[in-house]
Copies of this chain bind each other. A is one copy, B any other.
Amino acid sequence: MTNEETQGRPSRPTLNAPHIAQMALALIDAEGLDAFSMRKLGAALEVDPMAVYHYFPNKAALFDAIVEAIYTQIDTSVAVAAEWDEAVATYMHAMRNAMRAHPHALSLVATRPVNTAPVLVLVEVLVARLTRAGAAPTEALAMVNCFGTFTIGHLLADVGAPVGGPEGPPPDATILDASAIPTLAAAMAAGWVFDPDAQFDLGLRAMIAGFGAHYGLRDPN
């Protein structure tokens, strides 16, 4: 007999680690990382704040679980079909899309390494694809690392929530004259619009092409 059956109202499901992590991520998505607290998490779970400490030793361990939850949301099936360089690009776009859904958790993803089995399997998929294009395993691993850090770094600058509180207005309306930054001024005059998606794709493909040339990668025929 479960709790729901003995009592009339299904007040809450039994606690477990993945569910706690999901709830924590939902709170962070909704309110931001700074507004998140173990006490609010307890309230959202309709449980004493200390109850979560039975499943996670501390807040940091909970954050690790959140990062893994985000990684495992990546759909890696996209990286199979196409040419090697297209496969890499598609894979990294999939990773970017999964992470883009959680701007307030990006700083966690960027700084909390995860070496759990599910994430390693995720890495394996792309590394294996690169070796099939002619890279040595160690070379493939280095490339994947560079693709990943670029993706996360770009995403952080694009939509990442500022660590340490919301950003305020620029510290004074320092009107700087265009003569000090002529090239930047020229870019503005040329109608520069910041298109993060296009820019990411551009940078990603530049790196892919550069690696491809460096290592002589190509698909076997």
A interface list, Cβ under 8 A from B: 33, 57-61, 63-65, 106-108, 110-113, 115-117, 120-121, 123-124, 127-128, 131, 136-138, 140-143, 145-146, 148-154, 156-157, 160-168, 170-171, 174, 176, 180-184, 186-187, 190, 192, 199-200, 202-203, 205-211, 213-214
Do most interface residues of chain A lie in helix, strand or loop, or is the interface mixed? helix
Chain B residues with Cβ below 8 Å from A170 are: 115-116
Closest to A193 in B: B138
The 9 closest A-B pairs by CB, nearest first: A153-B153, A206-B210, A146-B203, A60-B165, A210-B210, A137-B187, A149-B153, A149-B154, A209-B210
- Which residues of B sit under 8 angstroms from A207, Cβ to Cβ? 150, 203, 206-207, 210
Question: Are B58 and A165 touching (Cβ within 8 A)?
Answer: yes
Complexed CA–CA distance, A100 and B58 (Å): 28
| Contacts A171-B61, A207-B207 given; does A33 touch B186 at CB 8 Å | no
Residues of the B chain whose Cβ atoms lie less than 8 Å from the Cβ of A154: 145-146, 149-150, 153
